[in-house]
Structure 1
Amino acid sequence: MRNDERQIQDEDLMDVAHDHEQAHRLRKALKVLADNPNVGGPLQEMAKEVLSGRLGMKEAIQTPGYMDALGDRLTQIRQAAENQTTAEREESRAKFAEWQKKQEEEEDRERAERDGPSLDLVTGPRRGGRGHR
């Protein structure tokens, strides 16, 4: 995706998302697909097309080539998981738990930034109150 190209916003995904939070997560997932060189092929193309606004998410879902690519990718992931040893499975679970914690922290931070200033503002000492004599 070129830097000068328009990028959709979370609101642009509300035709397929149930709420703003889901739209935000969907846009982030599309960005990961678009930016990850390991994705490639029709799946990455679809993500870039949706993010640029050239293709709506609803149309992408209805495009057989894109959904076939998603199904193929999910099959590859499932097969890789089935072929893991117990040690590899435990390592994957630990890595996923760590990744999930980071994602939740990032989403909390982004949500706080989106929702505006916090009510827990830190204030300095009051002026005009009792002072030293």
Structure 2
Amino acid sequence: MTNRPGSGPEPGDREIDDSELMDVAQDPEQAESLHKALRTLANNPNVQGPLQEMAQGILSGRMGMTDAIKDERYMDALGDRMTEIRHAAESQTMEDREAERGKREEWERRRDEEEQKEREERDGPSTNLFTGSKKRGPGGHRG
């Protein structure tokens, strides 16, 4: 695991966890959402330049979220991207909007399924261990 200044994340590099975003997040769920958004920016081939650099820097731990927020270059890039998105939305036809709505609903459904699966994987083993050890364990207490 190496973090070299100026390099993007590479396989095997350390990635921050949700708790490392709590300096800007209001609660763990918001930190988790922010983490996922950063991953999307870092890995999306349509996002390049300063936004992708920022996301990769934060995810690798080379830069804190508060530092990124204070960096004018990153905030300008974010503003430019939001303007592009707004212009694209304004020029959409009704058919385009309907198609986008369908794609968004499908994406939200898949995201919800993935989040549920992650929750089950995260919460499942600890619950099973507790339940399993309570029901029967070798050398258990007399009772």
Which bin holds the TM-score, normalised by the shorter protein? 0.7 to 0.9
Q: Of 61, 66, 76, which aligns to 2:69?
A: 61
Instruction: Report the aligned-residue RMSD.
Output: 1.5
Question: Taking every aligned residue pair, what percent have the same amino acid on both sides?
Answer: 57
TM-score (norm 1): 0.84
For residues 11-36 of structure 1, what are the alpha-carbon distances to aligned partners after superposition, in whole Å with 9 as ceiling and x for unaligned?
11111111112111111111111111
Could you say which residue in structure 1 is the equivalent of 2:43? 35
Runs of 4+ in 1 over 4 A off after TM superposition: none
Could you say which residue in structure 2 is the equivalent of 1:12? 20
1:85 partner amino acid? T
For residues 64-85 of structure 1, what are the alpha-carbon distances to aligned partners after superposition, in whole Å with 9 as ceiling and x for unaligned?
1101111110110110010011
TM-score (norm 2): 0.79
- The 3-state SS of whatever aligns with 2:74 is helix
How many residue pairs get aligned? The number is 120
Could you say which residue in structure 2 is the equivalent of 1:112? 120
| Gap regions ≥5 residues in structure 1 | 122-133
Q: Of 33, 42, 45, which aligns to 1:25?
A: 33
Could you say which residue in structure 2 is the equivalent of 1:129? none
Could you say which residue in structure 2 is the equivalent of 1:100? 108
The Cα of 1:115 is off from its aligned counterpart by 2.1
| Gap regions ≥5 residues in structure 2 | 1-8, 132-143
1:8 partner amino acid? I
- The 3-state SS of whatever aligns with 1:26 is helix
Could you say which residue in structure 2 is the equivalent of 1:128? none
For residues 44-89 of structure 1, what are the alpha-carbon distances to aligned partners after superposition, in whole Å with 9 as ceiling and x for unaligned?
0000000010100111111111011111101101100100111011
